[in-house]
Amino acid sequence: MGHLTRKHRDKLYLAAGVLAIWWSFSAIFNGTSITEFARLQRHMNSKIISSQTTSISSFDWSGVSFRYPPGSLTPLPTGNPSQTLPAVQKRFSSEGSPALKLRERRRREVRDTFVGDWGAYKKYAWMKDALKPLSMGYQDQFSGWAATLVDSLDTLWIMGLREEFDEAVDAVSEIDFGKSSSGRVNTFETNIRYLGGLMAAYDLSKRDVLLTKAVELGNLLYGAFNTENRMPVDFIDFEAAKTGDGLIVEGSVVSASPGTISLEFTRLSQLTGDPKYYDAISHVMDVFYEGQNKTQLPGLWPTMVSMSRKDVVSGNQFTLAGCADSLYEYLPKAYALLGGHERRYEIMSIGFMEAAKNLFFRPMIPGGEDILMPSSGSVDEDGNVYLDEETEHLACFLGGIYALGGKLFSNKEYVDIGSKLTLGCVYGYQSFPTGMMPERVNMVACDNLHTCEWDQKRFDKEKRKRPEYKEHLPLGFTTAKDPRYILRPETIESVFVMYRITGNQMWQDIGWKMFTAVSKGTETELGTHAAVEDVTRADIPLPQSDYMESFWLAETLKYFYLLFSPPDVISLDDYVLNTEAHPFLRS
């Protein structure tokens, strides 16, 4: 049967309903088993769903003959089938009626916000990468394969928007991965948004068409490894990749780029039974594993690495935020996805979480709150670490990762650190008059992580060293170098994880204040939501940018929704979420 649109499926469901009525009457008058009728109806429905086939892309990426083939393949690791990882989520007790009603009201408001923005995307930017929420136009910056649509698939499913999900799957089945709006395909973004989105939606819905498209795209991305040393390129030359002649690895890339493929390629091998994807990233992680304790800050990798030289140890600049963030995020998550059967992910996770403590600081703030902020820094020849005392919103994922690692590795200290890091980023939201945290801020580091009293003279001295200081900044902040809020999810991500791990309702209340501020502060005159150019002032209206990142629907609103959902909805004991919040089923 050819491709079925939602309209055609509706007709078939109507026919199935008519058949159901006829069969039930036949069962009554002819003694046919009602059980047989139910079986036949389920069969009809499954046929309707499974008959939704895909339009094959115009180029067969699986047919490319590589100049640099992989050789023998590393299989997925296996272990003792009886081995089980520690539980991650708190055992929740039943809710009382008032708490249930409050939680459901909050969840509905998040869902309504998503529905409004999805409707705008559908009307003005359908099958395009991103909506421009002020002009109601669109933008293609991720190869033109409908990034927002693919990124939002699992959110549609999780929120119970089945009709919208079916319509989106119909559209996905028509995407042509043989063509691109750009000559160069970004390996990192394509992997986390597109491949991650397709596989997560398949894990949730079991729609075969989604796995088919994931395999097509996975084979395209697999071409990134057709290089002399089998390390991936940062950008795939689209037309050159089709020839199979081989690609040239860039001399220097941010460490997050090659380090953020492990989850997606592991899951693709798990789903398909084809080890080639896992084999490809396994060799990349070999390089990181072997170099982890040889860097100038052992346990962490420098911000920039060279995959062409397989050099992940040179360099004295280190960060936990943008350029490196998801490299660290994926270590404990890969350990969980593989059921704990690949121990090097445990070793790398603990190594990073111990070393990262060198880049945390307790900020000097008027109230003396016991919080931590993640920073970046440099290391001199003697091994001394110098912090820049700067926090990026992108680093706010760390609270959730420490809490997750603390549960996986039975380390309560990590959970406590995760709480303090999350509260640090929450402080960044609560301190500014808009209730939103800027992209980048600086504060004054206390002399230690345990005690710290406010020192006005020291603060005045430190702020004068910062040319970006503005008098209107809240007390305790010496800069807001990038004052934007671009609909980012990292803080609510950590708040969600902390709630699921601790069960403390405090985190839901924190999250609700964040949602109220964010939804109000980013709302446009047309009812959509847009990035804000400066959240350090309470000007009305706030200055906005004509852009809505796909992660607003894929991550930010999903995490808000999950925070107010029953804890069995995407349980952290059942799923691992990639860096774009796409849930992969833990096998």
Three-state secondary structure readout of 223-257: HHHCECCCCCCCEEEHHHHHHCCCECCCCCEECHH
pLDDT one-digit tens code per residue, 25-48: 444 334 434 334 344 444 444 334
Q: Is the domain of 278 the same as that of 376?
A: yes
Residue 371 predicted with pLDDT over 90: yes
Of the three residues 53, 73, 90, the one that is the final residue of a domain is 53
Least trusted range by pLDDT, from 67-81, 200-214, 319-333, 428-442: 67-81
- Does residue 342 carry a catalytic annotation? no
Name the residue range of residue 115's domain.
54-585
Distance CA 498, CA 438 (A): 22
- Exactly one of 95, 189, 250, 468 is catalytic; which is it? 189
Residue 42 makes CB contacts below 8 A (sequence gap 6+) with: none
Higher pLDDT, 237 or 20: 237
Residue 299 predicted with pLDDT over 90: yes
Q: Is the domain of 261 the same as that of 178?
A: yes
Q: What is the pLDDT of residue 34?
A: 37
Q: What is the pLDDT of residue 544?
A: 97
- Does residue 389 carry a catalytic annotation? no
Average pLDDT over residues 313-336: 98
Q: Is the domain of 339 the same as that of 478?
A: yes
- Exactly one of 117, 329, 439, 523 is catalytic; which is it? 439
399 contacts 421 by C-beta, under 8 angstroms:
yes
Q: In which band, very low, low, confident or very high, does the pLDDT at 539 lie, cut at 50, 70 and 90?
A: confident
Q: Is the domain of 1 the same as that of 73?
A: no
Residue 285, CA distances (Å) to 204, 240, 322, 345 in order: 28, 26, 20, 9
The share of the chain scoring above pLDDT 90, in percent, equals 88
Q: Is the domain of 42 the same as that of 70?
A: no
Q: What is the pLDDT of residue 79?
A: 79
Q: Is the domain of 132 the same as that of 33?
A: no
The share of the chain scoring above pLDDT 70, in percent, equals 90
- Exactly one of 154, 164, 490, 580 is catalytic; which is it? 490
- Exactly one of 129, 164, 325, 523 is catalytic; which is it? 325
CATH code for position 552: 1.50.10.10
Q: Is the domain of 8 the same as that of 72?
A: no
pLDDT one-digit tens code per residue, 447-497: 999 989 999 999 999 999 999 999 999 999 999 999 999 999 999 999 999
Of the three residues 24, 53, 82, the one that is the final residue of a domain is 53
Q: Is the domain of 38 the same as that of 100?
A: no
- Does residue 388 carry a catalytic annotation? no
pLDDT one-digit tens code per residue, 206-222: 999 999 999 999 999 99
Q: Is the domain of 63 the same as that of 18?
A: no
Distance CA 585, CA 569 (A): 12
Q: Is the domain of 408 the same as that of 441?
A: yes
Q: What is the pLDDT of residue 263?
A: 98
Q: What share of the chain is helix, strand, coil (3-state, %, to 5)?
A: 50, 10, 40
The per-residue DSSP string of 27-43 comes to: HHHH---HHHHHHHHHH
Q: What is the pLDDT of residue 31?
A: 40
Q: In which band, very low, low, confident or very high, does the pLDDT at 80 lie, cut at 50, 70 and 90?
A: confident
Two structure tokens written together for 298: 């052992």
- Range 107-111, long-range pairs (CB < 8 A, 24+ positions): 107/561, 107/564, 107/565, 109/515, 109/519, 110/515, 110/557, 110/560, 110/561, 110/564, 111/159, 111/561
Residue 9 predicted with pLDDT over 80: no
Q: What is the pLDDT of residue 533?
A: 98
Pairing verdict, β 477-482 and 440-443: antiparallel
Total of domains in the chain: 2
- Does residue 234 carry a catalytic annotation? no
Q: Is the domain of 47 the same as that of 115?
A: no
Q: Is the domain of 23 the same as that of 128?
A: no
